[in-house]
Amino acid sequence: MAVITTTGGNGADHSPAESKLVVNLMHFARALRVAGLPIGPGKVLDAVNAIRAVGVGNRGDFYWALHAVFVNRHDQHEVFDQAFHIFWRDPKILERLMGMSMPDLEPGSAPPEEPPMRRVQDAFRPDSEEKSEGEGGDKGEKDEEETEYDSVMTASSRELLHGMDFDEMSAEEVARAKAAIARMRLPIQLVKMRRFRPDPRRARIDMRATLRSALRSGGATIPLKWKRRSQRPPPLVILCDISGSMSRYSRMLLHFMHAVSNDRSRVHVFLFGTRLTNITRHLRERDIDLALAKVSEAAEDWSGGTRIGAALHEFNTHWGRRVLGQGAVMLLISDGLDRDAGRGLEIEMERLHKSCRRLIWLNPLLRFEGFQPKSQGIQAILPHVDEFRPVHNLESLDQLIAALNRPAGRRLEGASEWLKMM
């Protein structure tokens, strides 16, 4: 279709070579789309116009012209680069591939057995598999969970569930807790913006509205109109430990993170064990089971060791400045047990603490009455958090929500008692 629209405008003066190029461009765009770049038909038109403007004499110009059109983000550069070199060396490879993968030509055809390009294979394999799984068993299971929850859960059993440690729950109780988490809302203390909204409670005069209403009455009287600063929740960044010692909690907390990600905008979620994984995009999936399937595929270090210092270092260098702007609140979920015995951790914690507005450490170990902040990892983290809270049952999650909704006190306030024990 793209070919017809592009050549339709002034088709008379096109040489066969150019129309061949247009067809190739269309195939190239298609290959990029399959590899995961967001490319619509409009982009193909742009590409054709760009190539007309730049010409095909210089391979470098040709490359950068297509790059300017097709690449929208720095991280798409790699995919583009690979696809470009494969495609324009031998478009035949992709032609063969296209024959196999064009869904509108062969509806219902199976994914290719041995596609020549790995990236393309990766790009659509997991998606189709997940879909078939998700639409099959998982949906039914979830419905069951919910009906069961409605009928069985009485007030007293809910209370019991509320105080129960995630670690001690049976499979059925876990399912109920998950349902309760899915309904949780996280109203973080709002921050004032520099923008205004109308407000009758006499904060500031809104001159524009005042003058307009003055004119309505012919200028005889000038009724004052009011406005105040608008407010919005700050960004929320969650860093969650998924090492072996945390495994029981982190899986439950994923449900919490999913509920939060879908409830509000500007939430970023990272998992870490031995390395750091950004799962923000995966959690945006509405369906919890689909989201969790994507997450477990993305993070490769489930239930392994923890290298908190290294993970935080990676976060600080690659993500800190990108996600912690605009007064972000940060949740660090970890038991503080570090395989590297706290090496390099203190410096990274200090950097992290200075980069965000409020840093809250959630630690499931706090459930033990006689908890002492003695391990090296914990001693390295504790001086650099604003608040230190337990997170091991539904009640602690509720308390967390209440704490986030309170106006923030002085920094370090919520951790000072623990600091005295060190």
Partner 1 sequence: MTQPIPQSVEATLELLAKGNYVADRSLATALYLALKMGRPLFLEGEAGTGKTEIGKVLAETLGRKLIRLQCYEGLDVSSAVYEWNYSAQMIEIRIAEAAGSRDRSEMEQGVFSERFLIKRPILQALEPDPIRGAPVLLIDELDRTDEPFEAFLLEILSDFQVTIPEIGTVKAKEPPIVVITSNRTREIHDAIKRRCFYFWVDYPDAKREMEILKVRAPGAAEGLAKQVVAFVQKLRGEDLFKLPGVAETIDWTNALIQLDKLDLDPQTINSTLGILLKYQDDIEKIQGSEAARLLQQVKTDLAAGG
User: Which parts of this chain interact with partner 1 (CB under 8 A)?
Assistant: 38, 42-43, 46, 49-50, 53-54, 58, 60-61, 63-65, 67-69, 71-74, 77, 193-196, 207-208, 211, 214-216, 218-220, 222, 265, 316-317, 321-323, 325-326, 347, 351
73 or 92: whose CB is closer to partner 1? 73
**Phi, psi (degrees; rounded to nearest 5) at 360:** -115, 125
How many residues in total does the chain contain?
Answer: 422
DSSP string, 266-331: SEEEEEESSSEEE-HHHHT-SSHHHHHHHHHHH---TTS---HHHHHHHIIIIIHHHHSTTT-EEE
42 or 103: whose CB is closer to partner 1? 42
Amino acid at 379: Q
Token pair for 234:
């700050």
What is the 3-state secondary structure of 21-48?
A: HHHHHHHHHHHHHHCCCCCCHHHHHHHH
Distance (Å) of CA 328 to CA 141, 194, 232, 277: 37, 16, 12, 19
Least distance (Å) from partner 1 to the CB of residue 65? Answer: 6
Measured CA to CA, the distance from residue 167 to residue 122 in angstroms comes to 36
Q: Which residue has the tokens 């590409």?
A: 47
Least distance (Å) from partner 1 to the CB of residue 151? Answer: 42
94 or 349: whose CB is closer to partner 1? 349
Residues 6+ apart with CB under 8 A from 349: 312, 380, 381, 383, 384, 385
232 or 339: whose CB is closer to partner 1? 232
Least distance (Å) from partner 1 to the CB of residue 207? Answer: 4
42 or 409: whose CB is closer to partner 1? 42
Measured CA to CA, the distance from residue 275 to residue 245 in angstroms comes to 16
Least distance (Å) from partner 1 to the CB of residue 190? Answer: 14
Least distance (Å) from partner 1 to the CB of residue 32? Answer: 14
Distance (Å) of CA 300 to CA 27, 190, 258, 261, 274: 34, 35, 19, 21, 9
Distance (Å) of CA 276 to CA 208, 301, 310, 361, 382: 49, 9, 9, 18, 21
139 or 266: whose CB is closer to partner 1? 266
Residues 6+ apart with CB under 8 A from 402: none
CB atoms within 10 A of CB 141: 11
Least distance (Å) from partner 1 to the CB of residue 109? Answer: 30
Measured CA to CA, the distance from residue 46 to residue 72 in angstroms comes to 14
Least distance (Å) from partner 1 to the CB of residue 148? Answer: 40
CA angle (204, 209, 212) in 5-degree steps: 145
Least distance (Å) from partner 1 to the CB of residue 359? Answer: 17
Least distance (Å) from partner 1 to the CB of residue 355? Answer: 10
Least distance (Å) from partner 1 to the CB of residue 57? Answer: 10
58 or 372: whose CB is closer to partner 1? 58
**Phi, psi (degrees; rounded to nearest 5) at 162:** -60, -40
74 or 420: whose CB is closer to partner 1? 74
69 or 299: whose CB is closer to partner 1? 69
166 or 270: whose CB is closer to partner 1? 270
Measured CA to CA, the distance from residue 245 to residue 241 in angstroms comes to 9
Least distance (Å) from partner 1 to the CB of residue 281? Answer: 11
Structure letter (DSSP) for residue 137: I
110 or 220: whose CB is closer to partner 1? 220
What is the 3-state secondary structure of 237-254?
A: EEEEECCHHHHHHHHHHH
